[in-house]
Amino acid sequence: MFTLSSVVPWGRSFGEYRRMFALTEADLASRVLGCGDGPAGFNAEMTRRGGHIMSCDPLYQFDAAQIRQRIDETSAEVLAQARQNAREFVWDDAIPDVDALERVRMAAMTAFLDDYEQGRREGRYLAAGLPSLPLADGAFDLALCSHFLFLYSQQRDAAFHVESMRELCRVAREVRVFPLLALGGQPSPHVVPVTTKLEERGFTVTIERVPYEFQRGGNEMMRVRL
């Protein structure tokens, strides 16, 4: 079973974000927050396209050289786990094997690193993390959380997830989280308590199919709106 003892920097591409969160052109034209983005290429490509984007992650307390070093230190473990647990993933034309996975992920992280220092100066990369964000109420139209909440269910308990989701709902009018599986491919046990607590506060919570599946069975996102 695919396992990690802690959160590791492992970035997805702009194209993967579009499919993971079923993003429309209208979504991309809105004020977007990427929470827990790590070294993803989403912010860099959104900025190149003229989008309004901010990413937040505790990782951003470090400079580009330090983040690159951390990627170098952890990528071998992630790839080794992918090889060992290949049956947990859906291999297709875009990513047919682990070697292709390495190329795609490293390309996304290189795009991030090339953009990072300028983005930090422009305020697009904020060193902050859940469950408390130094952002104003309703500062964003859409908050996205990729491969952090629910994925690290063993490392973060239900209370953390509930508090984090409430915080995302405070700073954005809509929140989307992907995937809803924990590491190892099992459904996260925190989906139900998060849904219950948010609905009690008047939010509409839906589980929606998306046009993306790499972690086998991981083709759904949580969507939360007032």
Q: Is the pLDDT of residue 162 over 80?
A: yes
Question: What does the pLDDT look like over 22-52, one tens digit per residue?
Answer: 999 999 999 999 999 999 999 999 999 999 9
Averaged pLDDT for residues 64-80: 91
Weakest mean pLDDT among 73-87, 145-159, 162-176, 187-201: 73-87
pLDDT of residue 114: 97
Concatenating the DSSP letter of every residue in the chain gives ----SS----PPPHHHHHHHTT--HHHHTSEEEEET-TT-SHHHHHHHTT-EEEEE-GGGGS-HHHHHHHHHHHHHHHHHHHHHTGGGB---SSS-SHHHHHHHHHHHHHHHHHHHHHHHHTT-EE--BTTB----TT-EEEEEEESSTTTTTTTS-HHHHHHHHHHHHHHEEEEEEE--BPTTSPBPTTHHHHHHHHHHTT-EEEEEE-S--SBTT--EEEEEE-
Span 75-133, pLDDT tens digits: 888 899 899 999 989 999 889 999 999 999 999 999 999 999 999 999 999 999 999 99
